[in-house]
Structure 1
Amino acid sequence: MMKTNIEVPIRCTGVAVVLLKNTPSGHHVLLLKRAGSVLRDAWCYIGGGIEEGEQAWEAALREVREETGITQVTLYTSNTFDQIYSAKENYIYVAPVFVGYVNDDQDVILNHEHSDYEWLTVNEAIDRVALPGNDVVLATIEKHFIRKTPAAWLRVGTP
């Protein structure tokens, strides 16, 4: 008798965004401290759901606005993904990661989802992020978006 293999479903219902600002001491990454019941007190980059009618990059810009109050962002797709396996519900959650460059003069105004924020060096951010895999995403962003100028075809959103 042959056994049938069962697939683990993959869900992509959200996005992640890593904001970068260039300071006199180099690029810094914005991390936010979660305030809600999910991942309470965990340091993460920006993330959230894709709403009906939105493209992923549009959700990324909206989430940046909602979570930080920042409105001026030069956005790129990073061609990397956050991924988490939910053992409880037996699915893999995948979210495209976007990179946003912001000017140094924009203030962060947190919404109710977060209790604190910090602009950190990439190494500090890698040490601080809570979820396994976030460190790999940040290392990839450092290699392709901090040490190099990103390719123009990675740019998304309005110019």
Structure 2
Amino acid sequence: MSGDYGEVPIKCTGVAIVLLKKIENEYKVLLLKRSTTVLNNVWCYIGGGIEEGEMAWESAVREVKEETGITKVLLYTTNKIDQIYSPKENYIYVAPVFVGYVEEQQEVTLNYEHSEYKWLSFKEAIAMVSLLGNDEVLISIEKHFVMRNPSEYLRIEN
């Protein structure tokens, strides 16, 4: 054995965003149904790529607008990451997860990437998400952003 080891690269080229809206005194989670070749028919929260020159949080704001038409979001970092190992390309994809509070009057207008959306309770959303780990992200967000007031040091001024 030579002591040389192969590596699995880690790539962070995208972001994930969970939107929350208070509906009838209960925070609901926005889930979107994908309609593209990537993750077709999968229910998930918002995700997208980081463009050249963008900070991750700027990508989050842009992706929310592009995918939902929502323009006003009170944005926080969650200190959580989505992570997926790609066996085909042999790398680990990680994405910082953000949470955004949306005002009740803001409506969702989907772009071509999604065919449906639903505002769901945390219990319903956790049961519906398909990607491994999304449930854990939602559990953490409920604990730290719904059951408690989020820490101001996590807030992103945008």
TM-score interval (norm. to shorter): over 0.9
CA contact (8 A) 1:78 1:141 kept: yes
State the partner residue of 2:84. Answer: 84
1:44-84 Cα distance to aligned partner (Å, 9 max, x none)? 10000000010000000000000000001000000000000
Normalising by the residue count of structure 1, what TM-score does the alignment of the two structures yield?
A: 0.97
What's the CA shift string for 1:117-154, capped at 9, x where partnerless? 00000010000001000000000000000101000010
Provide the residue aligned with 1:40 in structure 2: 40
Instruction: Count residues in correspondence.
Output: 158
| TM-score, normalised by the number of residues in structure 2 | 0.98
Aligned twin of 1:52 = 52
Q: Give the AA of the match of 2:21.
A: K
2: CA distance, partners of 1:77 / 1:135: 17
Which residue of the partner structure matches residue 16 of structure 1?
16
Q: CA deviation at 1:7?
A: 1.7
Partner of 1:62: 62
Contact 1:58 1:157 in 2 (8 A): no
Partner of 2:127: 127
Task: Could you tell me which runs of 5 or more consecutive residues in structure 1 were left unpaired when the two chains were aligned.
Answer: none
Q: Please list every run of at least 4 consecutive aligned residues from structure 1 whose deviation after the TM superposition is greater than 4 angstroms.
A: none
* 1:128 alignment partner AA: M
Say whether residues 1:137 and 2:149 are aligned partners: no
Alignment partner, residue 111 of structure 2: 111
Percentage identity across paired residues of the two chains: 63
Q: Distance in 2 between matches of 1:41 and 1:104?
A: 27
